[in-house]
């Protein structure tokens, strides 16, 4: 089939190849680009990043299905052995190239001591390399965070922290099984700032059944009052196999999608009024503070990942690690990469994934070979006519972010023969 687009108006005419301009951006020199800038997004395609998974948590939150072990579960306190394993795994990286961003996620990375975190950063530096000005970010739970800890992390080289605040309402925090208070969150935020972190992010969860409109408004107001550089917000979801899903199956109320949509729109309006820019469905930033690691992964940049259950993407191969802590450690200690599986993405699958994930960005996504057939398909026309998507400056943009998953699913109707 021809790649030439047959579109009804020039308004929807798309380039069929990706831009090849060298935007000349490095991670250190894009500070003036707005978070939703297409230029910034395309630069992120060329960034390389690393993810380090720290699976330890004080206890398991009822809604969580991540690869974690709680302190009262087998291996839940074996942090030193795990750090040793991570360092061995980093040493096994077959194709090292200096990273522009590192993200420590979990689990709860702040369960590790600063000297253990320093050993891991040091291993990445010596095996892979860290670009000048790279973002080195850590996810933190407020209850672990003190000013001394924050200063130690600055010494290690961390320059971004993302606090799992979730809510400022004690009723909601209790329902989510969180052990910190709203005051803990404010104290942690203040300690981060006093230790020299300017790039501080807050994570919120909306739509817990125990949350009211008024409770959400207060949470949003308190989050904005802290003046974070960045904010992420996710709807509470009921994942199979969690304590929350068992409770809902037993008759407890679950999240209400209409309430969640209202909360999302309230948050988006409030953040825009406060000077934030939404640059992805669930992420807002002040200019200069979009998360480089996230941008890099959404733009299908190359990323390595280490630790239990971690996923990486390098050279067209997507791979995932073993989730179980004991099996992961056994494998590493036998000198074997702890892979659970990998898949080599073909050209069409890779391009389709790039396009589907890119739809999450407010900057839109360059059409490549998929965008044209999608926009000109019957489903594409329906979405255009309903003002769910648009084509702006040659990029496909989702105008109604809450419908992004629906739009992405529609892309699956495009086959390789259409491109």
Site string for ligand SF4, 26-45 (x = CB under 6 A): --------------------
CB of 141 to ligand SF4, least distance (A): 6
Q: With 0-12 CB in 10 A as exposed, 13-18 as middle and 19+ as buried, what is 79?
A: middle
- Comparing CB distances to ligand SF4, the nearer of 141 and 232 is 141
Q: Candidates 44, 52, 57, 384: give the one binding ligand SF4 (CB under 6 A).
A: 57
Q: What is the DSSP string of 151-185?
A: HHHHHHT--EEEEEEE-S-HHHHHHTT----HHHH
CB of 247 to ligand SF4, least distance (A): 16
Instruction: Pick the stretch among 18-26, 62-70, 116-124, 222-230 that binds ligand SF4 (CB under 6 A).
Output: 62-70
Residues 71-110 that bind ligand SF4 (CB under 6 A): 106-108
Q: With 0-12 CB in 10 A as exposed, 13-18 as middle and 19+ as buried, what is 377?
A: middle
- Comparing CB distances to ligand SF4, the nearer of 59 and 381 is 59
- Comparing CB distances to ligand SF4, the nearer of 67 and 123 is 67
CA 139, 144, 145, 151 dihedral sign is: negative
Q: With 0-12 CB in 10 A as exposed, 13-18 as middle and 19+ as buried, what is 386?
A: exposed
CB of 154 to ligand SF4, least distance (A): 23
68 part of the interface to ligand SF4, by CB under 6 A: yes
66 part of the interface to ligand SF4, by CB under 6 A: yes
How big is the site for ligand SF4, counted in residues (CB under 6 A)?
Answer: 11
Token pair belonging to 397: 């943009």
SS (HEC) of 38-72: HHHHHHHCCCEEEEEEECEECCCCCCCCCCCEECC
Token pair belonging to 295: 């941008």
- Comparing CB distances to ligand SF4, the nearer of 164 and 301 is 164
Residue 98: how many other CB atoms lie within 10 Å = 13
Instruction: Pick the stretch among 59-67, 83-91, 118-126, 407-415 that binds ligand SF4 (CB under 6 A).
Output: 59-67
CB of 57 to ligand SF4, least distance (A): 3
For residue 108, which phi and psi values (nearest 5 degrees)? -135, 95
61 part of the interface to ligand SF4, by CB under 6 A: yes
Give dist(CA 176, CA 61) in Å, integer: 6
Residues 139-168 that bind ligand SF4 (CB under 6 A): 141, 164
CB of 217 to ligand SF4, least distance (A): 24
Interface positions with ligand SF4 (CB under 6 A): 57, 60-61, 64, 66, 68, 106-108, 141, 164
């Amino acid at each position: 089939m021809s790649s030439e687009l047959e579109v009804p108006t020039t308004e929807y005419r798309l380039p069929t190849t990706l831009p090849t301009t060298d935007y000349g951006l490095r991670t250190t020199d894009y500070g003036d680009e707005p978070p939703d800038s297409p230029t910034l997004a395309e630069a992120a395609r060329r960034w390389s990043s690393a993810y380090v998974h720290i699976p330890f948590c004080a206890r398991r939150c009822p809604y969580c299905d991540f690869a974690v072990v709680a302190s009262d579960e087998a291996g839940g306190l074996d942090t030193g052995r795990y750090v040793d394993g991570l360092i061995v795994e980093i040493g096994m990286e077959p194709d090292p190239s200096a990273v522009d961003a590192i993200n420590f996620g979990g689990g709860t990375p702040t369960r590790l001591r600063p000297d253990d975190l320093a050993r891991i950063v040091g291993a990445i530096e010596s095996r892979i390399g860290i670009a000048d000005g790279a973002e080195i970010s850590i996810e933190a739970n407020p209850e672990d965070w003190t000013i001394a800890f924050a200063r130690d992390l600055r010494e290690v080289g961390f320059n971004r922290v993302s606090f799992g605040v979730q809510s400022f309402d004690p009723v909601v925090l209790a329902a989510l099984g969180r052990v910190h208070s709203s005051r803990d969150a404010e104290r942690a935020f203040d300690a981060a700032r006093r230790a020299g972190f300017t790039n501080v992010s807050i994570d919120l969860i909306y739509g817990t059944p125990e949350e009211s409109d008024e409770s959400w408004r207060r949470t949003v107001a308190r989050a904005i009052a802290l003046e974070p550089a960045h904010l992420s917000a996710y709807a509470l979801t009921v994942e199979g196999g969690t304590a929350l899903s068992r409770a809902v199956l037993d008759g407890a109320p679950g999240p209400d999608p209409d309430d969640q949509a209202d909360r999302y729109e309230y948050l988006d309006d409030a953040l825009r009024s406060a000077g934030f820019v939404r640059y992805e469905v669930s992420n807002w930033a002040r200019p200069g503070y979009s998360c480089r690691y996230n941008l890099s992964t959404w733009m299908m940049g190359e990323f390595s990942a280490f630790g239990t259950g971690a996923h990486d993407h390098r050279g067209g191969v997507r791979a995932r690690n073993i989730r179980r802590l004991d099996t992961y450690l056994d494998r590493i200690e036998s000198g074997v990469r702890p892979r659970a599986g990998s898949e080599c993405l073909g050209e069409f699958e890779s391009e389709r994934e790039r396009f589907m994930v890119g739809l999450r960005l407010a900057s839109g996504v360059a059409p490549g070979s998929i965008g044209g057939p999608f926009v000109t398909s019957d489903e594409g026309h329906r979405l255009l006519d309903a003002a769910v998507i648009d084509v702006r400056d040659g990029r496909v943009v989702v105008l109604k972010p809450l419908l992004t998953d629906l739009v992405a699913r529609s892309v699956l109707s495009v086959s390789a023969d259409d491109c």
